Amino acid sequence: MLLAACSSNGGNNDAGNAADANKAGDADSGNKAAANAGNDAAATDTKEAAPIKMSMALMAGPKTPDSWAEHTLEEDLTKTIGRSVDIQPVFLPDWSELNTKINLLMSAKDTRPNILWTGDTKEYTKWVKAGIVQDLTPSLQKYGKEILDYYTKDTMFYHWDKSGKIFRVPGDVPEASFMTTIVRKDWLDKLGLKEPKTLDEYVAMLRAFTNDDPDGNGKKDTYGLSGDNYYRSLAPFFYAYGIDVENFIKQDDGSIQFGALMPQVKNVLELLQTLYKEGVIDPRMSTAANSDDQKVNEIYSTGKVGSFYRFVDYFNPGNGAAISFKKLNPSGVYEAIDPIQGPEGFSSDMPDPGIGWCYLVVTDTTNADDAVQVLNTMATPDVFKDITFGKEGEQYKMENGEFTPTITPDEGNKLGLGNFGWYLQRKDAANIKNTPEVTALFEKRIQTSQPMRDKIVVFKSLERPQWDKYSADIKKVRDELFWSIITGKKPASAFDDFVKQYEKLGGKQIDEEAKQLYSTQSSEYDQFSEWYEANITPYK
């Protein structure tokens, strides 16, 4: 599961995108970092037969050295490319030391890996200006069809340089929409309730789940709604009004506005305050400590909550929370429902921005054609499955479309499965962990999340100095105020104070910057479309 790990992409809610990823432990990265710097890009008559040595900075997985996954990848690459391939992993340290280590590696040619994995870093533009990362467009045209076919036009736009070059390739882009409204179907049936469609019906259901003893134990020990401390858990309420308090939202007049300032927010906060006071909302949602997915998984497993806005992955039989829930509640059934409709009929699931939360750059220490051939081969479904899940019949089995590991997680770690995660991570049918039903649910959520995708502004620029300068203070005030209103410590009218504070906290500068970036980005997209049709479409 992915949901927010790297820093937020400046006003776009990446909170969902990596904090849920498996931040596997620290590992030494030093031994092979420079081993491959001599892989010169100069062409020779024997170039085609020359072996490929490719050092790759890796962040995901167990970071197992000299692993089965590494050797399997080398075999797959050698077979596909027709040249001997030697992969040399450079394991990156844990998240607290990540950026320091990456900057250190990139500081000199003899330490730069051939392919760098990185998250949201301000150093990227410096690398481009210094000429130490390569334009991959010609190589993608020759050898990158799998990559070009997999990523959408919009995703490529967010990774395209206005000079007409592609210096970075998305490493991992979450599903177009990876969350859904989840309700206890068995509780609906027991209480004689229909699946809710509107916000009023959803609220009535949550109250019934709280007050009408849906688990039949004669105690008032259930909650209507629970989740983590992120606003994503409250999406059925905010999105019913077409608002997202963490992003800029397109307005009917063509302007954009920070979503937390929109007047409908006050209506939502007032409703949430009422439900919190009634005991419908799990009070654990209000604590910042409840930002750990493991904690929410435990709450989910108990079966004491009737609804969540949570991950589609919960419907995979192999999901840990789903397994624990069925053990504790053998007759319990959760189901995914369509997004809740608001007072004006609007409804939407939460879309992902479409930007890779991490990406890959090919440095000046290798041949770009070689690097793209390696990456393109890794992106193929069969190779992706090999390095992610192992070999069918050896590390897993497939029965009736259901993936079942035949090894323990610890055995998988020893094999290095996942070491190459977040490298062109596929989220389609190649991700065999998803059952056909879950894959279909993901696909449906592409449509159900489109209404908010049309509203949310996703900023392409990595440089937003005004946002970087003022947003932390603004978000701190927002969060303290909004949760104070929800928990009843302050009246809903206190929302008006935030609107006034926003400008004093630097909101005016943020708004001016956002307006300019949005205008520039819109015209830049037209330029990109022409470039895309000439440089990418013919090679797909």
Q: Can you tell me the mean pLDDT for 43-49?
A: 48
Q: Can you tell me the mean pLDDT for 6-30?
A: 39
- Please give the structure tokens belonging to residue 4: 């927010």
Q: Is residue 2 within 8 Å of 217, Cβ to Cβ? A: no
**pLDDT for res 36:** 44
Phi-psi region of 463 (alpha: psi -120 to 50; beta: other; left: phi over 0): beta
For residue 432, pLDDT over 60 is answered with yes
Amino acid at 370: D
For residue 14, pLDDT over 80 is answered with no
Assign 184 a pLDDT band (cuts: 50, 70, 90).
very high
Residues in CB range of 513: below 8 A, 6 or more apart: 464, 465, 466, 467
Angle of CA points 9, 128, 509, to nearest 5°: 40
For residue 318, pLDDT over 90 is answered with no
How far apart (Å, rounded) are the C-alpha atoms in residues 228 and 282? 10
For residue 87, pLDDT over 60 is answered with yes
Closest CA to 293 of 413, 422, 424, 179: 179
Percent of the chain with pLDDT over 70: 91
- Please give the structure tokens belonging to residue 119: 């998250």
How far apart (Å, rounded) are the C-alpha atoms in residues 415 and 412? 5
**pLDDT for res 99:** 94
**pLDDT for res 287:** 87
Q: Could you report the per-residue pLDDT of 95-112, keeping only the tens digit for each?
A: 999 999 999 999 999 999
Phi (first) and psi of residue 169, to 5 degrees: -115, 135
Q: Could you report the per-residue pLDDT of 196-252, keeping only the tens digit for each?
A: 999 999 999 999 999 999 999 999 999 999 999 999 999 999 999 999 999 999 999
- Please give the structure tokens belonging to residue 296: 């929410």
For residue 47, pLDDT over 50 is answered with no
**pLDDT for res 288:** 75
**pLDDT for res 48:** 55
C-alpha gyration radius of the chain: 24
Q: Could you report the per-residue pLDDT of 455-501, keeping only the tens digit for each?
A: 999 999 888 999 999 999 999 999 999 999 999 999 999 999 998 89
Assign 28 a pLDDT band (cuts: 50, 70, 90).
very low
For residue 258, pLDDT over 70 is answered with yes
Model pTM score: 0.84
Q: Can you tell me the mean pLDDT for 71-94?
A: 97
Mean pLDDT for the chain? 91
Lowest-confidence segment of 46-60, 67-81, 314-328, 387-401 by average pLDDT:
46-60
**pLDDT for res 15:** 36
For residue 290, pLDDT over 80 is answered with no
Decide: residue 149, CB within 10 A, 0-12 exposed, 13-18 middle, 19+ buried: exposed
Q: Could you report the per-residue pLDDT of 152-174, keeping only the tens digit for each?
A: 999 999 999 999 999 999 999 98
For residue 57, pLDDT over 90 is answered with yes
* Structural domains of the chain, with CATH: 52-173+356-425 (3.40.190.10), 179-350+457-524 (3.40.190.10)
Sign of the CA dihedral running 462, 464, 465, 468: negative
**pLDDT for res 341:** 98
**pLDDT for res 24:** 35
Residues in CB range of 179: below 8 A, 6 or more apart: 16, 232, 235, 309, 310, 311, 312, 349, 350, 445
Residues in CB range of 523: below 8 A, 6 or more apart: none
Closest CA to 174 of 188, 160, 155, 189: 155
